[in-house]
Structure 1
Amino acid sequence: MDIVMDAQALNAFLARDFPQVADACSIQAVLPDRLVARWRVDDRHLRPGGTVGGPSIFALADVAIYCAILSRIGPVALAVTTNASVDFMRKPAAGRDLLAECRILKLGRSLAVAEALVFSDGMADPVARCSMTYSIPPKTPQNSAL
């Protein structure tokens, strides 16, 4: 699969089309076999007990997988999540950003399947494993962001 959007293009896309997450999430790297995204954790992402809440972990995985798919198909803004599964495996480390490492497992014309492992920055063991399926609409001027 060829890379058609690099990290800079994906971050610009997020800032323009998804400003609600662009302040917390950034694409760190787009590589031939994976995408790496960062979630900048602050107080609004914490739940009682001082750990990162599940909704923030899910949001990171969803945005990261979406961007991994867009990195291969281009800025199709109307690609949507059709299925999601998250296994929360351990408590995220306090005071650390989260990183998602994504792999595309299948990229078809109308469906894409990908997975993400979510880590606390600097830690070896993942805090969550996510699997998601996206529906990809036919590319038209209406659903292309560029």
Structure 2
Amino acid sequence: MNGKQDLSKVSVLLVEDEAFMRRLIQRMLEDLGVGEIVLAQDGGEAVQYILNNSYAFTLILLDLEMPRVNGFEVLKYLRSAPDVGNHDLPVVILTGHAEKERVVQAVQYGIHGYLVKPVSKADLISKINRAMTKPPIDASHLK
């Protein structure tokens, strides 16, 4: 799969508290032809979108480090709350920190990939493709 893949039916929830990074990733998603991009500036807003039945997300791009409700809290809610419709929704985390412990912690919540900021378009499409076609990352491969 490459950037020419038809992503017009893909719906992404992009959760990023830094406005510049949110706009940059949004533009990359638009360039890749993603059909729907919903922006959330923090984890609390993301949870509201997840609960809103009018959105049927294909993928979540989720920053880990955010004020108020962080990415780990969103992941925990997404994977376990009874009022969430799809507990298996693919999630790719966005992080400015590639420390192994943080990645392993996120993997335990069933993520499908992670991107270290700054994000390149090639890495973004690669992670989207992986998230859409493969199971969550196996934590045993990270140890």
Report the TM-score when normalising by structure 2.
Answer: 0.26
More strand by percentage: 1
Larger-Rg structure: 1
**TM-score scaled to structure 1, two decimals?**
0.26
More helix per residue: 1 or 2?
Answer: 2
